[in-house]
Structure 1
Amino acid sequence: MNRVLTLVSVAAALALSTSAFAKGNPADGQKKAAACFACHGADGNATDPQYPRLAGQYADYLEQALHEYKNGNRKNPIMAGFTATLSEQDIQDIAAYFSGLPGKIRDLHGEVAGN
């Protein structure tokens, strides 16, 4: 019974904690993403095909990618350098900014020959 009460108390504390469910702030993310604009564009729609378009991507995907560059699971020396000093809140804010932008990602309908 004691264990059940402890679990309920912990669950209630987490549910009431704003930091447990913190979401990124897009306005802060725009400021923090200034270094990203050179390659990915201020609107997140890179024009050079060697750089991914970030606008409209899922925030959790962007967060995961930034974490992987930071911890070395994704190998890119430029991105590793940019992510090295990012905090968890920075990552959430940047992801919120780019995910909230209108994307220009399109499918290949009409571009691929065959059936």
Structure 2
Amino acid sequence: MKRAITLLSFGIALAFASAPLFASGDADNGKTKAATCVACHGADGNAIDPQYPRLAGQYNEYIQQALHEYKDGRRNNTVMKTQVANLSDQDIEDIAAYFSAMPTKLDTLKGHIQGD
């Protein structure tokens, strides 16, 4: 019984400690915050121009990571660096929630990989 209580306590502590890792944004707020994104990535998150990634249906955490990497310079793109410069962590979570919740039109990688 003591072991079960210890494990349960550890599990609860771990859940609270890792909560920020699984933080989710608000897709409705993300729609408003993504207003400038749609110019390149499309109103439905499925960019028509192949130079812009399709964000609709992309993994939430991947979008967040990419935006943070543009913001801190790990990804080097002048346009994106400018776009994300003033985004807060909450803004990034909201935008990622918005795009990740959208239906994607990307059902295959054919034609979407350089060299195809």
TM range (shorter): 0.7 to 0.9
Q: How many residues were matched structurally?
A: 102
Q: CA deviation at 1:94?
A: 0.1
C-alpha RMSD of the superposition: 2.5
Q: Residue deviations 1:13-36, cap 9 Å, x none?
A: x729x7675310000000000000
Q: How does 1:1-115 map to 2 (within 5 A)?
A: 12=13, 15=16, 21-107=22-108
For residues 65 and 103 of structure 1, the distance between their equivalents in structure 2, rounded to whole angstroms, comes to 18
Percent identity between the two aligned chains: 58
| TM-score (norm. length: structure 1) | 0.77
User: What code does the residue aligned with 1:107 have?
Assistant: T
| TM-score (norm. length: structure 2) | 0.77
Q: 1:66 to 1:15 in 2, by over 3 A?
A: same
Structure 1 moving runs of 4+ over 4 Å: 18-21
For residues 82 and 38 of structure 1, the distance between their equivalents in structure 2, rounded to whole angstroms, comes to 12
